[in-house]
Structure 1
Amino acid sequence: MFSKEEAKELRLEFWQKLSNKTRRLPGQKGRKRTWIFDNTGIKGLDLRFDVSREKIIVALEINIKKEEDRLGLYEKLEAAKGLFEGQFGEPLIWDFAYTKPNGREVCRVYVEQPGDMYVRESWTEIFTFMIDKMIRMERAFLEVKDYLKYM
């Protein structure tokens, strides 16, 4: 078990190493990979990394507070499921009522794998998963972005 300070330092090191790893991606020429994340161009729709002691998640998250609008955007995304998953390259988990650890309900389309961010020995495998899946998630999102923009 880690103290609060040790856990904080380990999390910081984890994210720094992931950032460094993205500088060595093909085509990056030493530049840091810039992820879309919360700059998707669609309010309330973000791309997320979610890491914990149990699992690693790469997700497209709809976090609009007004439930009707959130579910409306999710339904529109779900209508493009075939195209989205086809571009992603594998089936995804579709959850219109995903409850985050803070209790907030969002809609999520995601992929996950078991993993523990506090185990340094597994970081290489975790980073490979996160980078590969986020590149694919961005590509799939960009394929349907224009369609989603107009509700």
Structure 2
Amino acid sequence: MYTRDEAKKLKEKFWTSFGQFMTLVPGEEGTKINWINYKTGVKHLYFRMEAEGKSAHIGIELTHPDAGIRSLMYEQLLAYKTVLHTELEEEWIWEDAYQDMYGKEIARVSQPMEEKASIFNQADWPTLISFFKPRIIALDQFWSTAKYGFEIFK
């Protein structure tokens, strides 16, 4: 087991390594992207990559505090479902009401990593990177098309 501080440092080391690995990958529009903290340009709409314990997932989270607006954002995202799945080359899980780890209700579209891999085991990092990299790139490709449909929510 790791102490809280050791676990935090190991997580930081993974995400720093992943960020450095992705630095050479330009965004769909040819611009430099901060892949770890991807900026969608739409408040309350985030691309999230998370690795906890022996699991990981990636997704789009809609966190608007107003349930009605969050629902409208989710409906707009649903309109792009085919485009999203085409870019991802896989179908993701759609949840219009999901409670995050803090008990806050959000909407999300996500994909868990099927294979078990731990962020605390550096030997598993290539597996985690292989899971995150193509999906965050595909989300960027998707967003280069879909972002215009979300300008009303800016």
* TM-score grouping bracket, smaller chain normalisation: 0.7 to 0.9
Corresponding position of 2:138: 136
- TM-score, normalised to structure 1, is 0.86
Contact 1:48–1:59, Cα closer than 8 Å, also in 2? yes
Corresponding position of 1:90: 90
> For residue 101 of structure 1, what is the amino acid of its counterpart?
M
Off by >6 Å, runs of 4+ in structure 1: none
- Whole-angstrom CA distance in 2 between matches of 1:123 and 1:38: 20
Unaligned runs of 5+ in 1: none
Unaligned runs of 5+ in 2: none
Identity of matched residues, %: 25
Contact 1:36–1:138, Cα closer than 8 Å, also in 2? no
> For residue 148 of structure 1, what is the amino acid of its counterpart?
F
Aligned-pair RMSD on alpha carbons?
2.1
- Whole-angstrom CA distance in 2 between matches of 1:74 and 1:57: 19
Number of matched residues? 147
Matching residue within 141, 148, 151 for 1:149: 151
Corresponding position of 2:102: 102
Corresponding position of 1:57: 57
Relative to structure 1, the CA distance from residue 138 to residue 11 in structure 2 (aligned partners, 3 Å threshold; closer, same or farther) is same
